[in-house]
Structure 1
Amino acid sequence: MAQIPVKLQAAAVYLEDSSIEVATGDVTLPSFDSLSETLSGAGILGEIDVPTPGHFGSMEVGINWRTIQTEAVKLISSEVHALDIRGAFQIFNQSGKLETKGIKVTIRAMGKGLDLGKLAQNSTTDTTTTLEVVYIKIFIDGIAVIELDKLNYVFRVNGQDDLLDVRKILGKS
């Protein structure tokens, strides 16, 4: 029996390398959408959309808050903010027993937008902060599985450094 992911059991968000958890509704993690160039011509049947390793379009992280909070407002400033998002996933392991696996997402991002939401009696405001990601590193059970540093030419997947040669050629290594 393979490991079967079940659900996110619990999550916590920490801001600016603090040990104090902030109360959020949920977090929308960014998408990795490669920038690419279409290749066509003699010797090619049709077109091939060739991704450029380590180059991704705009990457946003969204933090949904239950109410308007000072942390939500703080995050729209133009400085780069550090976020540490941790989660505990439930899985069925190979023996069919429930087990917990950890995920940690470290993000550095700049404030991009703030939707204050609505003010309605006996209701959440559904406030949302949007940030532009410049750095992200994801750990699953303590092992780094992806790292992207848009400002320092770093893109690693499962330990493979896809931009090592590029950094060497450009004198950045």
Structure 2
Amino acid sequence: MALPKKLKHQNLFLDGESFAGQSGTVTLPTLARKMEAWRGGGMDGPVKVDMGHSDDGLQIEWTLGGWGLSVLRQFGAVRADGVMLRWAGSIQRDDTAEISAVEVVVRGRHEEIDFGDAESGEDTEHSITTTCTYYKLTIDGNEEIEIDLLNFIFKVNGVDMLAEHRAAIGL
């Protein structure tokens, strides 16, 4: 029997600027595929056909404990990959004390900045939603998943899932 690896500590970086002590919650992007049911002649039931990444796209939601000027100054970034966020997590198993480094790097632009409630003498927290065109998940130095929507790249555990498709269409 083993205990699960649990997040113990985290930090968030915005274009290399550390938000240690300032970042609150981080909701990492949901990885989803668009699947469409297909039931052809001679089939007793439908099979879901993989049509690529979900139409919902990739987004990361995160909070700051107060005002973050660097975030505000990036609002309205023109480039679809103009902002880079890096989330670093330290996960640990309590039965073995083994620690693993988890890193998620995304590039995109801020879709929404919610300033929350403003009340004198009360806590302020700002919520940011960043829509992403690039995503990379690395665990203990191994690149597990890389998605680059602008450059037609999708890798899982080092395997380029779109290499043959790129070749087929001359890319």
TM-score by length of 2: 0.87
**Secondary structure at 2:67's aligned position in 1?**
coil
Equivalent residue, structure 2, for 1:87: 89
Equivalent residue, structure 1, for 2:144: 145
Separation (CA, whole Å) in 2 of partners of 1:167 and 1:46: 31
* One-letter amino acid of the counterpart of residue 27, structure 2: T
Alpha-carbon displacement from aligned partner over 1:35-80 (angstroms, at most 9, x marks no partner): 1222123112232221224x23221111111113213323432242
Report 1:20-169 matches (<5 A): 20-22=17-19, 23-53=22-52, 55-57=53-55, 58-78=57-77, 79=79, 80-92=82-94, 96-169=95-168
Alpha-carbon displacement from aligned partner over 1:115-152 (angstroms, at most 9, x marks no partner): 11111234322311111110001100010000000011
Gapped regions of structure 2 (runs ≥ 5)? none
Percent identical: 27
Separation (CA, whole Å) in 2 of partners of 1:85 and 1:59: 15
Separation (CA, whole Å) in 2 of partners of 1:33 and 1:128: 23
Using a 3 Å threshold, how does the CA distance of structure 1 residues 99 and 122 change in structure 2: closer, same or farther?
Answer: farther
Retained in 2: the 8 A contact 1:65–1:72?
no
Separation (CA, whole Å) in 1 of partners of 2:108 and 2:86: 11
Separation (CA, whole Å) in 1 of partners of 2:157 and 2:5: 23
* One-letter amino acid of the counterpart of residue 88, structure 1: S
Gapped regions of structure 1 (runs ≥ 5)? none
CA shift for structure 1 position 27: 1.2
User: Which segment drifts farther, 39-48 or 144-153?
Assistant: 39-48
CA shift for structure 1 position 161: 1.2
* One-letter amino acid of the counterpart of residue 92, structure 2: Q
TM-score by length of 1: 0.86
Report the RMSD for the aligned CA atoms in angstroms. Answer: 1.7
Ranges of 4+ aligned residues in structure 1 off by more than 6 Å:
none
